[in-house]
Structure 1
Amino acid sequence: MILNFRHKITQLFTCLTLLICSLTACKKDTYVGKDPYGDAKPQLDLKVNTLTASPVEGAIASTVTLSGSGFLKYKTDLKVQFNGEQAEILSVTDTEVKVKVPEWASSGLITYMVGAQILPGPKFRVTGTLQIDKTFNSYVGANDDIYSITALPDGRMIIAGNFTDYNNAGIRAGYSKLAIISSQGVLDKSYKPGKGFPSGHVYKSVVLQDGKILVGGNFNSFDTRNNQISNIAKISLTGGIDSTVYTYTDRSGEIKKSAAPTFKAFFNNAVDELLVQPDGNIIVSGSFKYYMTKTYYPNQKDTIITDSTQINYMARIKPDGSLDKTYNFNTQTNKANEGFNGFIYKSYMQADGKLIVAGGFSSYNGENVSKIVRLNLDGSLDKSFNPGTGPNGTISSIQPYLNGQMLISGEFLSYNGKNRTRVAIINENGSLDESFDPGVSANGSISRAIRLGNGKILLTGNFQKFNNINRFGLAVVEANGTLSPAYNTLGGFVFSSFIFRSPVNEIINVDNGEAAILVGSFNSLDLQQNTRLVKIKY
C-alpha cells in the first residue's frame, strides 16, 4: 500500500516537472533585435522613360531631353550620367529633365542617381569623329573568335581563327578557321578549301612572294589530308595544297601512288607568328621545340622517314619549308643554338629584315637580356639595341611608329625604370621616347595598339577606364598620350558571354589610312552588332 502510494507521488511529481518545463520552453522571447531592413531607403517616387531619349543620339555638348514623372521632388539631389560620365543638368520640370552631353561621354546607358539609388534610363548613342562603317558586312560575321587579319595585294583580306562559319555560309562550306573576304567584308567563295581545317586553331596567315598563303596555328589536318601537315601549311588562294605524287611499291609488291604536301616544314607544337623577310625567307615563332621534315617513299619503298631538329621557339625556313641553317644555327654540331629560354609573345620585323622580339624570356643564347631584344639578319643578338631593363611586364603588341620608332603595349607598368603604364613609344635604339606619356593610362592590359592614318593612336584591351574616363576596351590618344577629344565617343565592346576580356586580336589600317578593321572576340561595339570584326572610319 505504502509503496503504491509513493509510486503515485513520484509519477505526479514527474508530470508537474514536465509541465513546468514545457510552459517555460513555450514562453515567448520578448527581446527584439535590430531590424535588418530598418536602414533601407524608401522607394523613389520617380518614374523614368527607359525606352528613348530625345534625340536618340547626339554629339558632345548637345542638349538631350529625358522624360518621366516625379523629377521636381528630387531636383536638388538628382544626377544624370551618360555611360558613367556625369552630365550637366540644364533644367528640371516634373516630367522632363534637360541635360548637356558631357565632354567625355560615350554611347551606352543613361542612368539617374538620387543619393545611392540608381535608376536605368534609355540607351543613347554619342556621335563623334570616330564612327562605325555600316557599309562593311560584319553584322553576322564569324561564329567564333578571329585571331588575325591579313591584307592581300588586291584589296581582299584573309581572316584566321577558331570560327567554323562566316556570314552564315554554312559549316559544310568548309570556311573553318580560315576564309577570304572582300574589302567590304563579303565572303569570297572563289576560295574553296574543301573541309577546311576540321579541328584546331589557325593563328596567323601571311602572303608569300609566290602569291600563296602560309598559315600557322595548332592543327594537323586540312581538307582530307589528315596528319600530313603539322601546325604550318602552305595553301593557294583557291584553297588547294601544293602536292607531289609519289610512286612506291607496297609490302605486297603492288605498285601504288600517293600525294603528299610539297612544303617541307612541320613543327611539334603551335606556330603563333609568321614574318616574311625581304629575301623571301620566313621567320616562324611559337611554342614549339622541334622543327621536323619528312622524306616520303625513299627509293620507292613503302616508308616515310621523319627527321627532327631541336629549335626553341623560333626558326627561319626557306620558301619551300626547309630549315635555314644559316640562322642562329651551329653547322659544326648540326644543332640550333640555345635561343630564347622562354616563350615569345610578339615579334615585329623592321623594313631591313631585323627582328624585334618580346616575350617571357630572360636570356638569348645564354646571354642575359631584357624582355625585348633585336636580332640581326643571321639571328645573332643586335647589341646596338639597348632597352636597359626594358619593360617590367608582358609586351603583347609591337607596331611601327615614326622614324624607326615602335609603339608597344601590354601589361607592363614601367620601361627601363620609368613609369609607363601599359603603353609606350620606344626609339630605334631601344630607349624610351619620353615625349609620349599616357599618365594613369588604362586600368587593365592594353593588348593591341596601332598608329592610325591621321597620326592618332588606337588602343584596345581588357580595361574599363583610361585616365579615369570610362572607355570599356577602346581608347584613342594623341601623339603625347592624352585622350583625344571627339575620338572617344564609341561605346564599349560587348561579348556573348557577358564576361569582359581583351576584345581585339588584331588591327589593320585600310582605305589609305582613313579607316581601320578590328578583329577579335566581341559581338557588339557602340550599341551595334558587329560579330568579331568591325570597320571604323574617321
Structure 2
Amino acid sequence: MKSNLRYFIGLLLFTMAFSSCKKSTQLTEDPYAGGKEALGIRFLNEPPKPTYGSVGSQMVFAISGLLPYKDKVKCYMNDTEAEIMEVTSKTIKIKLPVGSSSGGFTIVVDGQIFFGPQFTVSGKIAYDATFKPVIGPNGNVSQIMPLTNGNMILVGGFTDYEKKASLKRPINNIVMINADGDYLPSFASGLGSDGSLNSIARLTTGQYMIGGTFSSYNNRKSIGGLTRLNGNGSLDSTIVEVVNLTPLQPKNSFDTVAAFNGRVTGSVRKLFVYNNKSILIGNFSNYGEYFYERSTRDRKVIGYTPMDMLMRLEANGKLDESYNFNPTTKTSYEKPNGSINDAFMEADGKVILVGSFTRFQGTGVNRITRVDNNGMIDPTFLVGAGADGPIGSIRFNATTQKYIVSGAFKSFNGKAVNGIVMLKKDGSVDDSFTMGTMEGGSVNFSAQLSNGLVIVTGSFNKYNGVIRQGFMVLNPDGTLAAGYNTTGVFQGIVNDIYETTSPQGFPAFIMAGFILKFDNRAVPNIIKVVYEP
C-alpha cells in the first residue's frame, strides 16, 4: 500500500515538472521587455552649494549623466518647478522659484524621477534652535499659561518633561518651565493629577484653578474634574471634621481635603476666572458638593445638581445659581445639542462658545454663540447664521481686536470662508480677510499675531496652488505672506500659541500641542518659532 502511494506521488510530481518544463519552452517573448532603459543619471554624494538659499537665489547640485538629456530635464524644489540655469557633466544649476519651500530636490527625465538631497529655503521665519526642549513633554500639551516673570506653566496629558521625571519628583500633566524651556523643579505639584488637564486659569490671589479629567491631585482624593492650587503648584487643602465611626481612634474625626469644594460629573474642557469665580465649560452633566459633616474619612457624601456643559462656581466651590440656572427646574437650561470644542472669555466676563451644536438653551444657533454675565445667550453678538459645519477653535488678539475662528465649515453667515473666518469684536464677519483655496486636507488651528499675520496649521498641502505642507502664514487679507512661507513639512496638532521674543529680541511665538514635525525636522510637543517683523 505504501509503495503504491509513493509511486502515485512520484508520478504526480514528475507529471507536474514535465508540464512546467513543456510550458516554459513555449515562451517566445522576454517577460521583462518594454521597461525603460537606465539613463545613467545619478546624484553625487555632495551637498548643494550653497547649502541653503532664499527665493530667487541660484543653487548648484552635484549630479552625473544629465548632460545628454539637458533639453528634456525638469527639476522641482519640494514639488515646485524650478528654472534650470545650466547643466554640465557633473552639475545642474537652478534658480529657486517663487513659492518654493524647504524639502527634497527632484529631477524628471523622460518620465523617470531622480531624488536628490534635502534643501533648506531660507525666509523670514524659522525654528528657534535656542529654545532648549529637545524631548519636551512626552504627551499632548493642552494649554500654555505665561507668567509675569517669563516662566510658563504647561498642562496636558503627559508624564514626563525632558526626561526629568523620577520616583522622587514625578511629573504628571502639569509642569513649570522658564522662558528658555528649562524644567523648573521648584514647582511643587507632587504627584500631580491622575488624569489629563485641559485648562488652567489664575486667580487674583496668585492661586490657580485647573480643570480636566482627573479625580485626585498629589494623591489627594475627593476631587472631580477641577480643583484649586496654591501659587507654588501644591494643592490648596484644608482640614475638616467628619463622622468618626471608631471613637477610639480620634484621628478619624478629621480629614484633609481640597479646600475648593466643588466638582463635576464628567470633564472640564475650558476654565476661566472672572471676579474670582470659575466659569466651567466641558462634557459634564452634574455639579457636585461634598457634605463632610455627613461623611467619614473613607466614604464621602456628595450632593448633585444637574448642570450640563456650562456653569459658574463661587470662590469656595459652591454653585452660582445666577448663571445658566433655571430656578424652576433647579437645573441648567437646555444643554447644547452638540459638543463645545473651544471657548474664549472676553475682558468683561462674557464667554464665546464654539463647537458642533446648532441649539443652545432652546434657541437655534449655528455652532457659535456668546453668553452674558448671567450665562444666557447674548443677542448682541452679531454672528447671524453662524457656521455651516463644526468649529474647532477660536482665538482673539487684543491688539488687532479680531477673532480668528477655524474648523470644518465652508461658509459663515452666508459668506464663503473655507475653514477660517475673521470676526470683528461684535461677531460680524470682517470682509477684509478672504480665505483662499486649500488642497489635500483641512485646518486644525489658526491664530492672529499682534502684527496682523495669521498662523494656520492643519493637514493641507496646498494653498492657492502653492505648496504649503501643514503650516502657513497669511497676511491680514488672507493671502500668503511673502517670505514667511518657506518652511517644509509640518505634522501635528496645535492646541495653543503664545507670543514672545527670541533671545536676540526678534518677535517669536511658542506653539504647543501634539507636534511631530516642523520644517521637515522632528520636534518636541512644544516649539518656538522666530520671525522677522
Same fold (TM > 0.5): yes
Residues 268 and 125 (structure 1), Cα distance of their counterparts in 2 relative to 1, 3 Å cut: same
- 1:232 equivalent to 2:226? Answer yes
Give the whole-Å Cα distance in 2 for the aligned partners of 1:78 and 1:365. 64
Residues 50 and 289 (structure 1), Cα distance of their counterparts in 2 relative to 1, 3 Å cut: farther
After TM superposition, list the pairs within 5 Å mapping 1:48-63 onto structure 2.
Answer: 48-49=43-44, 52-63=47-58
From 185, 189, 194, the counterpart of 2:185: 189
- Give the secondary structure class of the aligned counterpart of 1:289: strand
- 1:331 equivalent to 2:327? Answer yes
After TM superposition, list the pairs within 5 Å mapping 1:76-225 onto structure 2.
Answer: 76-172=71-167, 173-197=169-193, 199-225=194-220
Deviation at 1:56, TM superposition (A): 1.2
Give per-residue Cα distances to partners, 1:169-193, cap 9 Å, x unaligned.
Answer: 1343212211011111111111022
Give the whole-Å Cα distance in 2 for the aligned partners of 1:260 and 1:515. 42
Give per-residue Cα distances to partners, 1:474-511, cap 9 Å, x unaligned.
Answer: 100111100011001122225xxxxxxx4312111123
- 1:352 equivalent to 2:358? Answer no
Give the whole-Å Cα distance in 1 for the aligned partners of 2:18 and 2:123. 77
- Give the secondary structure class of the aligned counterpart of 2:284: coil
- Give the secondary structure class of the aligned counterpart of 1:285: strand
After TM superposition, list the pairs within 5 Å mapping 1:470-485 onto structure 2.
Answer: 470-485=467-482
From 351, 360, 363, the counterpart of 2:359: 363
Residues 302 and 469 (structure 1), Cα distance of their counterparts in 2 relative to 1, 3 Å cut: closer
Partner of 1:508: 498
The AA in structure 1 aligned to 2:449 is L
Give per-residue Cα distances to partners, 1:417-463, cap 9 Å, x unaligned.
Answer: 22111111123333322221122145422222111132211111122
- 1:268 equivalent to 2:261? Answer no
- 1:311 equivalent to 2:301? Answer no
Residues 85 and 299 (structure 1), Cα distance of their counterparts in 2 relative to 1, 3 Å cut: closer
Give per-residue Cα distances to partners, 1:345-381, cap 9 Å, x unaligned.
Answer: 1111222221211111121121211111111111111
Deviation at 1:404, TM superposition (A): 4.3
Q: Is the 8 A contact 1:462 1:503 kept in 2?
A: no
Q: Is the 8 A contact 1:50 1:120 kept in 2?
A: no
- Give the secondary structure class of the aligned counterpart of 1:73: helix
Partner of 1:429: 426
- 1:420 equivalent to 2:413? Answer no
Deviation at 1:228, TM superposition (A): 2.0
Q: Is the 8 A contact 2:400 2:450 kept in 1?
A: no
The AA in structure 2 aligned to 1:312 is D
Aligned residues between the structures: 510
Residues 115 and 210 (structure 1), Cα distance of their counterparts in 2 relative to 1, 3 Å cut: farther
Partner of 1:499: none
Give the whole-Å Cα distance in 2 for the aligned partners of 1:131 and 1:383. 43
Give per-residue Cα distances to partners, 1:288-345, cap 9 Å, x unaligned.
Answer: 1111111223498985220111111111112222211100112343222113222101
- Give the secondary structure class of the aligned counterpart of 2:266: coil
Give the whole-Å Cα distance in 2 for the aligned partners of 1:44 and 1:450. 49
Give the whole-Å Cα distance in 1 for the aligned partners of 2:234 and 2:208. 10
After TM superposition, list the pairs within 5 Å mapping 1:370-389 onto structure 2.
Answer: 370-389=366-385
Give the whole-Å Cα distance in 1 for the aligned partners of 2:360 and 2:148. 36
Give the whole-Å Cα distance in 1 for the aligned partners of 2:409 and 2:28. 52
The AA in structure 1 aligned to 2:273 is V
Q: Is the 8 A contact 1:157 1:180 kept in 2?
A: yes
Give per-residue Cα distances to partners, 1:111-137, cap 9 Å, x unaligned.
Answer: 222243222211111111112222211
Deviation at 1:530, TM superposition (A): 2.8
- 1:534 equivalent to 2:527? Answer yes
Q: Is the 8 A contact 1:248 1:302 kept in 2?
A: no
Give per-residue Cα distances to partners, 1:18-37, cap 9 Å, x unaligned.
Answer: xx9x9999864887699775
- 1:292 equivalent to 2:288? Answer yes
The AA in structure 1 aligned to 2:209 is L
Q: Is the 8 A contact 2:189 2:235 kept in 1?
A: no
Root-mean-square deviation over aligned CA pairs: 2.6
- What stretches of structure 1 of length at least 5 have no aligned partner? 1-19, 495-501
Deviation at 1:38, TM superposition (A): 4.3
**If the length of structure 1 is used for normalisation, what is the TM-score?**
0.88
Identity %, equivalent residues: 32
Give the whole-Å Cα distance in 2 for the aligned partners of 1:342 and 1:125. 44
Partner of 1:6: none
Partner of 1:455: 452
The AA in structure 2 aligned to 1:418 is K
- 1:465 equivalent to 2:465? Answer no
Residues 485 and 39 (structure 1), Cα distance of their counterparts in 2 relative to 1, 3 Å cut: farther
Deviation at 1:286, TM superposition (A): 0.9
Give the whole-Å Cα distance in 2 for the aligned partners of 1:275 and 1:153. 18
Give per-residue Cα distances to partners, 1:228-253, cap 9 Å, x unaligned.
Answer: 21221222232311111124453222
Q: Is the 8 A contact 1:49 1:122 kept in 2?
A: no
Deviation at 1:513, TM superposition (A): 8.9
Q: Is the 8 A contact 2:243 2:294 kept in 1?
A: no
Give the whole-Å Cα distance in 2 for the aligned partners of 1:26 and 1:50. 47
**If the length of structure 2 is used for normalisation, what is the TM-score?**
0.89
- What stretches of structure 2 of length at least 5 have no aligned partner? 1-14
Of the structure 1 ranges 508-517 and 339-348, higher mean CA displacement relative to structure 2 is found in 508-517
Partner of 2:7: none
- 1:66 equivalent to 2:56? Answer no
Deviation at 1:65, TM superposition (A): 0.7
Residues 380 and 171 (structure 1), Cα distance of their counterparts in 2 relative to 1, 3 Å cut: same
Give the whole-Å Cα distance in 2 for the aligned partners of 1:321 and 1:472. 46
Partner of 1:444: 441
- 1:492 equivalent to 2:489? Answer yes
Q: Is the 8 A contact 1:411 1:444 kept in 2?
A: no
- Give the secondary structure class of the aligned counterpart of 1:270: strand
Q: Is the 8 A contact 1:111 1:119 kept in 2?
A: yes
